Structure 1
Amino acid sequence: MRTLPIVLFFVAMTFTSWGLYGPVLHEGQHGLGVAGQPSSLRPLICVGTSYFLIGVLVPVILLRFRGERGHWTIAGAFWSFMAGTAGAFGALGITMAFKFGGRPVFVMPLVFGLAPVMSTLVAMWMTKTFRQASPVFIAGVIIVAIGAAGVMYSRPVPAAATQAAGSTAAAPAADGVLDQADHPARSLLARFTLVPLFIALTACCWGSYGPVLHKGQMKMAGSRLRPFLCVGLAYFVIAVLAPLTLMQVFVEPGGWTFHGTAWSLAGGAAGAMGALGIIMAFNFGGKPIYVMPLVFGGAPVINTFTTILHEGTYQQTTSLFYASLMLVIGGAVTVLVFAPRGKPEPDQPKPQPPEKKQAPAAAKPESAPKPEATRQPPERGAADQTEPKDGPSANAVSDKATPDASESG
């Protein structure tokens, strides 16, 4: 594949952008909240706004003045909008999991571990390539998921943060935990039912994003900007209009600040650039069945290294962290090498037999009149040859008759 380096470049662009998404958005989340109580819905609104600016206005301008290959179709717009809806619901699921008591220490490993597995299953179901998946490929997907979960779980935690978490009562609220002392029964219900539900929602949505977006892109004849525009519209509806409605029902701590808004918009921009990288990877021949596992395998690694650089926890890295990182790299290579190639090969020979049958049929009428033209000259020659044969025989008879007449006379 000549375009494989280009595909890998956009894959790296995507998991780098999505790896920065969490730390940058987390900074904006604290900037829009109050001390010890980060905001959850306001950063989501900023994310939707960034997707709208990058994913809608920019494609509209480029399509208006430069154009692009492909065309609008109802099916393509539908599938692309559904992909954006899945991505936005995944972001909303993360926010709600934190809001109902989930902690990033176990929420994010579960999401990044389950999402690539879900992405692979959805892609194989849509392309009907379950039989083509080898045991080595399945093992690679499992290794990526386990390695990503291990990297996120074993990432270094600053000593100051652990001391603050054990000494202060406001530390759980910093992770999005509700006040459990006021509603102990509701906190237990949320922790064991709602939090796993929103984790599963996010994993399913983010896992389905890539295959569904790829189908929308193919329905638009390989267009790049049109599916991206639909994704931006979906994010605007789900991540802007929906949180504005929820803020009328739920009490949101904090308020709008320049610092928090800027960081939240930057987080949304990172997410939008990652979505654009996915589209470009598909456009240059990448397949969702190995693109998305690579993305979800690399994103937690970038996220972890960004956190280490920001917090300065070099000496607190454990052997489990490095082992998990090697699992992610090894599993990603396995997924790339042993990914099923789809079913274009059995589909190509099917239209060829009718073309071969039509060629001999067209040659028969041309050869049919040729014998008729060649038969006519021999018929004329045969007629000419019979006339001299009659002539000599008649003369011979007359010659024989004349001697008989003289003898009689």
Structure 2
Amino acid sequence: MKHQLPILFALGTALCWGLYGPTLQHARPGGSPPLGPPDPAGWSPFKPYVGIGLAYLVIAIIGGLVAMKLKGDSFSFSDAQAPALKWGFAAGVLGALGAFCLTSAMSTFIGKPQPQLVMPIVFGGAVTITALHSAISHGSMKPMMAVGILLTAVGIVLVASNTSHGPTHTPTETETTAPAPVAGTAEVGEATARDNEGLET
């Protein structure tokens, strides 16, 4: 395969980012999101975001420097090397803002977070935006690309609406069984009816 290595890295990205939302839902405190200051027993969406930043710090900066050393790269970011830092920083800002939006999306659900709803929108939307950016950059968009964007939107709806949302509520025996009548209720009702008939006559 001509592009085997890039495809493998792309699949690795899909794997990691696909598990991003389901993992992030565990970083939210129980209950509904706070409308004001966070409850003492809970926390705001910004606390998990700090953890995300620490992960970027360890993996991106330290890991990046180690990888540069292994590749024999220079540690200069000036002159001809400046675009690496400038555009890398711009991409990092977009990535950090995306992580912030995704963290906020997972933290503002009323009730249990639903990554199965958020993640298809994120990745289906990302594919569409990438395609639109390419079309604008090259000044043309093929008709089949528009069809693909439409099918992507349909796919987002189908995936989000048919992904398992966890076990549904099963009525208990006490909920499904009608309460038994109180002993003597029927007899009292019949006696009352006979008394009423006697009064009418």
TM, length-normalised to structure 1:
0.34
Q: Shift of the alpha carbon at 1:256?
A: 1.4
The structure with higher relative contact order (CA 8 Å, sep 6+) is: 1
- Which residue of 2 is the match for residue 203 of structure 1? 14
Asked if the contact 2:77–2:85 (Cα under 8 Å) also holds between the matched residues in 1, the reply is yes
TM (norm. structure 2) is: 0.66
Q: CA offset at residue 279 of structure 1?
A: 1.4
Residues 291/222 of structure 1: CA separation in 2 closer, same or farther (3 Å cut): farther
Indicate conservation of the 8 Å contact 1:222/1:283, yes or no: no
Whether 2:36 is the aligned partner of 1:225: answer no
Structure-to-structure mapping, 1:316-355, within 5 angstroms: 317-343=141-167, 345-346=169-170
Q: What is the Cα-based RMSD across aligned positions, in Å?
A: 3.0
For structure 2, the 5+ residue unaligned runs are: 31-40, 176-201
The number of residue pairs the alignment matches comes to 158
1:260 is displaced (CA, Å) by 4.2
2:73 aligned residue: 252
CA deviation profile, 1:288-337 (whole Å, cap 9, x unmatched): 112101110000111121222233x22xx222211111101112223344
SS at match of 1:345: coil
Contact conserved, 2:25 with 2:115, CA < 8 A, in 1? yes
Assess, with a 3 A threshold, how the Cα gap between structure 1 residues 196 and 265 changes in structure 2: closer, same or farther: closer
Read off the aligned partner of 2:108 and give its amino acid letter: F
Verify: 1:262 aligned to 2:89, yes or no: no
Partner residue of 2:24?
213
Deviation digits for residues 356-388 of structure 1, max 9, x if unmatched?
xxxxxxxxxxxxxxxxxxxxxxxxxxxxxxxxx
- Post-superposition CA distance 1:249-298 (Å, at most 9, x none): 10338951445423321211111111111111112225111210111000
Code of the residue aligned with 2:60 in structure 1: it is A
Moved over 6 A (4+): none
Cα deviation, 1:219-268, whole Å, max 9, x if unaligned, reads: 79564111111111001100110110111110338951445423321211
CA distance in 2, matches of 1:345, 1:264: 48
Per the alignment, residue 63 of structure 2 pairs with: 242
The answer for the alignment partner of 1:302 in structure 2 is: 129
**What SS does structure 1 have at the residue aligned with 2:155?**
helix
Question: Residue 192 of structure 2 corresponds to which residue in structure 1?
Answer: none
Q: Distance in 2 between matches of 1:260 and 1:243?
A: 12
Q: Could you tell me which amino acid in structure 2 is paired with residue 217 of structure 1? A: R
Distance change (3 Å), C-alpha of 1:195 and 1:259: closer
* Contact 1:210/1:292, CA 8 A, preserved across alignment: yes
Q: For residue 289 of structure 1, what is the aligned residue in structure 2?
A: 116
Distance 1:222 1:299 in 2: 29
User: Matched residues in 2 for 1:340 and 1:282: separation?
Assistant: 17
Identity percentage over the alignment?
Answer: 30
Structure 1: unaligned runs, 5 residues or longer: 1-187, 354-409
8 Å contact from structure 1 (residues 289, 339) kept in 2: yes
Deviation at 1:191, TM superposition (A): 5.4
After TM superposition, give the deviation of residue 202 of structure 1 in Å. 1.9
Change (3 A) 1:308 1:339: same
Partner amino acid, structure 2, of 1:241: I
Larger radius of gyration: 1
Counterparts of 2:152 and 2:8, CA distance in 1 = 26
SS of match in other structure, 1:247: helix
Note closer, same or farther for the CA distance 1:289–1:218 as it changes in structure 2 (3 Å cut): farther
Cα pair distance change 1:249/1:260, threshold 3 Å: closer
